[in-house]
Amino acid sequence: MLPERERHALREIEAELRASDPEFAAALSGRPSREARGWTLLLVLCDVTAVVMLVVGLFARDAALVLWGTVGAGSLVAWHIARTESAHQSTEDGAAPPVAPH
């Protein structure tokens, strides 16, 4: 346990860091950055689009929608796996998780 004086000094350093470089401070705190949240949002929207394409294609008996929905869903599964493996590998190395998927 640190003495109160040292804890106060650390809080001041943390506040200064947040004020000067908020993205760096967020990366150190483990919170996802705006860019990472943007990629996650994009991935979720793509998931919803692929599912809608499959369902509409099945009900409308449109082979093209079913085909593209299946292709999209397959590629999104690969994207999810790549993101999960990338995050898992980076945490094993002790490094911060990547901001954007590869």
- The DSSP code for 30 is T
CA dist., res. 71 & res. 66, Å (int): 9
CA dist., res. 11 & res. 35, Å (int): 27
Q: What is the pLDDT along the chain (102 residues), one digit of tens a residue?
A: 778 888 888 888 888 888 887 777 766 666 666 677 788 888 889 899 999 999 999 999 999 999 999 999 999 888 888 888 877 776 555 555 555 444
Number of CB atoms found within 10 A of residue 97's CB:
16
